[in-house]
Structure 1
Amino acid sequence: MKVAAFLTAAFVALTSPETASAGMLAQAQQYAGLHEVKHNKRLRAALGINPARTPWCGHFMGMIARKAGRHPPQSYGIARSWLRFGAPIKLSYARPGDVIVVRTGRRYHVGILSALSKSTARVIGGNQSGRVQLSYFSRGQVVAVRR
């Protein structure tokens, strides 16, 4: 009976949104540095699209979410669709691994929070200067945090 209770508790802990968020960050970090042209074959195989011709931040996030055991939004290839992913979190409660949606002009971008300071959000994501990398966004650009 104690073993069953322990296994149940372990399963719940491993499938909680907090654990899954950390899993998404770890998954994304495995792809750091891959460029849409230099590593096109590998990214094309992983994403199912040609990243050199298609905006791919949402596609990257969809792949990462699935690898972490999460369910991406139905239109995951569109960055704005991530506004409906998981549960909403206030920016002040954001933690590494949370999904961040930012607005840059009239466009949206989605990635995974790596770190948060008083003025910036450090985000790892795809299609950031044509590659998977860490980029800094102003906290004012953040339109949603999802866990």
Structure 2
Amino acid sequence: MKVAAFLAAALVAFTSPNTASAGMLAQAKQFTGLHEVKHNRRLRAALGINPARTPWCGHFVGMVARKAGRQPPQSFGIARSWLRFGAPVKLAYARPGDVIVVRAGRGYHVGILSELSKSTARVIGGNQSGRVQLSYFSRGQVVAVRR
């Protein structure tokens, strides 16, 4: 009986991050196309901030994480704070649904990995050209992958 309980707990522990990551990607996709000005009322209600006036990539990922049953970092509105979210994953092992932190100019940007190729990471996120959309980032821009 104890062995069966242990195996069941181990199964949950090893599958939960996958399920949570997939849940985050599914949640993020529901908002694809929403623009910070055209859809301001809906985004403002979902994010708790005015996306037309506040950098909101971290707020978007925080909202997605909460909807997927995850706990975002304390300062989730700041993209750099996502460097402490979940567990670190090497880029080579990144999967769709993982949180990706990329270098963007002199700062950081955070989003959810949709697809990874040999040269790029396709990321869905908020505040990408003022909207929720899929964008491509060079693998060289990836600072961290978190699951």
Aligned to 2:37: 37
Aligned letter for 1:50?
N
Alignment of 1:50-129 (within 5 A): 50-129=50-129
Aligned to 2:16: 16
Q: What are the superposed Cα offsets for residues 15-45 of structure 1, whole Å, 9 maximum, x if unpaired?
A: 7111100000000000000000000000000
Aligned letter for 1:118?
K
- Could you state the TM-score of these two structures normalised by the residue count of structure 1? 0.91
Q: What are the superposed Cα offsets for residues 83-136 of structure 1, whole Å, 9 maximum, x if unpaired?
A: 000000000000000000000121100000000000000000000000000000
Contact preservation (8 Å) 1:114, 1:122: yes
Sequence identity percentage: 88
Aligned letter for 1:110?
V
In structure 2, C-alpha distance between the alignment counterparts of 1:51 and 1:32, rounded to whole Å: 15
Q: Secondary structure at the match of 2:33?
A: coil
Aligned letter for 1:79?
A
Question: Structure 1 residues 12-21 or 73-82, which shifts more?
Answer: 12-21
Aligned to 2:26: 26
Once the two structures are TM-superposed, the CA of residue 73 in structure 1 deviates from its matched residue by 0.1
Once the two structures are TM-superposed, the CA of residue 77 in structure 1 deviates from its matched residue by 0.2
CA RMSD of aligned residues (A): 1.8
Aligned letter for 2:88?
P
In structure 2, C-alpha distance between the alignment counterparts of 1:86 and 1:135, rounded to whole Å: 23
Q: Which runs of 5+ in 1 are unaligned?
A: none
Divergent runs of 4+, >4 A: none
Contact preservation (8 Å) 1:13, 1:19: no
Once the two structures are TM-superposed, the CA of residue 12 in structure 1 deviates from its matched residue by 2.6
> What number of residue pairs does the alignment pair up?
142
